[in-house]
């Protein structure tokens, strides 16, 4: 898989620069962790990579013809659907037993049939992650993916994430210095 290369990317909102002349290389087939303090444009960069926000200038190479999946800071689950049905939206081809195994890896066995609106914050976060990880996306963009998870759960979820990535390119955004090690990620700073 090709590297994702960001060339001199800039973005401003209402004349206020958020990203200024950013150039980065994310290795293909690996997990990269983009670290920076809050408010420095990490989410904006992910939104540009996902094609949700246009850059003011600069370019991105390596995403052409690739399917990109994203986990936003908010979970964006359909509240009236069960956790299982939220995940099935992106992988209708997977069997119930395969999905049960994936839910178990995330510590969510008892949550499969609960409505998303009835899940705790940590459960909802894991369902959102699982939905992205089970998709056919070639590249996964994860914005603060372990937010709201306690230390023990975070470690188990990171292991499940690494297993489910299956050599795909993943860009993880965080300001927590412990998270790159959990994902064996290459650290890049913004």
At residue 69, the 3 state secondary structure works out as: strand
What span, in angstroms and rounded, lies between the C-alpha atoms of 179 and 39? 18
Residues composing the chain: 190
At residue 81, the 3 state secondary structure works out as: coil
Task: Note the pTM of the prediction, 2 decimals.
Answer: 0.94
String of b and e for 45-73 (b: at least 16 CB within 10 Å)?
Answer: bbbbbbeeeebeebebebbeeeebbbbbe
pLDDT tens by residue, 12-61: 999 999 999 999 999 999 999 999 888 899 999 999 999 999 999 999 99
**DSSP code of residue 94:** S
Domain extent for 44: 4-189
Which ranges of the chain would DSSP assign to H, the alpha helix?
A: 42-49, 83-88, 96-105, 121-133, 151-165, 179-182
pLDDT tens by residue, 119-167: 999 999 999 999 999 999 999 999 999 988 999 999 999 999 999 998 9
CATH number, domain of 18, equals 3.40.50.300
Number of domains in the chain: 1
């Amino acid at each position: 898989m090709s590297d994702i290369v960001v060339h001199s990317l800039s973005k401003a909102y209402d004349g206020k620069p958020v990203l200024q002349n950013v150039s980065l290389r994310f290795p293909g087939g690996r997990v990269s962790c983009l670290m920076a303090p809050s408010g420095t444009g990490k989410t904006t960069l992910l939104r540009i990579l996902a094609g949700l926000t246009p850059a003011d200038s600069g370019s991105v190479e390596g995403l052409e013809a690739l399917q990109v999946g994203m986990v936003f800071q908010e979970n964006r689950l359909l509240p009236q659907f069960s956790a299982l049905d939220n995940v099935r939206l992106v992988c209708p081809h997977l069997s119930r037993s395969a999905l049960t195994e994936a839910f178990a890896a995330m510590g969510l066995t008892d949550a499969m049939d609960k409505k998303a609106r009835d899940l705790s914050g940590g459960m909802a976060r894991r369902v959102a992650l699982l939905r992205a990880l089970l998709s056919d996306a070639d590249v996964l963009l994860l914005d603060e993916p372990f937010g709201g998870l306690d230390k023990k759960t975070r470690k188990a979820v990171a292991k499940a994430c690494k297993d489910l990535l299956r050599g795909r390119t993943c860009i993880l955004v965080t300001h927590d210095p412990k998270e790159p090690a959990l994902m064996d990620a290459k650290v890049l700073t913004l």
